[in-house]
Amino acid sequence: MSLKLSYENADVTAAAPGDEYLHLRDEILRDAPEAKAAWDASRGKREIALLLARIRKAAGLTQKDIALRTGWDKGFISRLEGAAGGIPDTQTMSRYAEACGATLGLVVAMPGEGAEARIVDAITVSADYATPNAVSFGHLRERYLPPED
């Protein structure tokens, strides 16, 4: 797959997501404040979209499979996995996770001593507790997260 961008009247074709693409993206974000602002504003949605696509792929499913399991339109699944639009609500993300055989949790952390973050609370948003080995996030409370690399 390649990505064709027009930047300062020069067409650039780069392998996505290769080094050329990343270099061009960084150059555009550095030189165009409005593009940087839009990029920064979409971070949460982009990360959630990537998370949804990763759990679907980890489950070995296609977007069509998720659509069939949830009763949603395949176009809606595509929009959930795309960077545009708003962040989906927890009920939507929970239903998506369940369609993948996964459990959705919510973890809240606060800065701790040094570079670590302390998990203040963690809850399980969706789970089938009747299932053996049901996942629960509550045991993560009061643990610490190491700093990111």
How would you label 64-85 residue by residue, b for 16+ Cβ within 10 Å and e otherwise? Answer: ebbbeeeebeeeebeebbeeee
Residues 36 and 49 in one domain: no
pLDDT per residue as tens digits for the range 127-139: 665 566 678 888 8
Q: Give the structural domain span for 7.
A: 2-41
Looking at the structure of the chain, the number of domains it has is 3
For residue 132, say if its preceding peptide bond is cis, omega within 30 degrees of 0: no
Share of the chain above pLDDT 70, in %: 83
Residues 86 and 50 in one domain: yes
Residues 35 and 54 in one domain: no
Q: Which residues contact 79 (CB under 8 A, 6 or more apart)?
A: 85
pTM: 0.73
Residues 33 and 63 in one domain: no
**Residue 56: band (very low, low, confident or very high) from pLDDT cuts 50, 70, 90:** very high
Residues 37 and 7 in one domain: yes
> Which residue from 15, 21, 20, 12 is spatially nearest to 1, judged by alpha carbons?
15
Q: So what's the pLDDT on residue 42? A: 81
Residues 81 and 47 in one domain: yes
Among 31-35, 93-97, 98-102, which is the least confidently predicted range?
A: 31-35
Residues 13 and 51 in one domain: no
What CATH number is given to the structural domain containing 47? 1.10.260.40
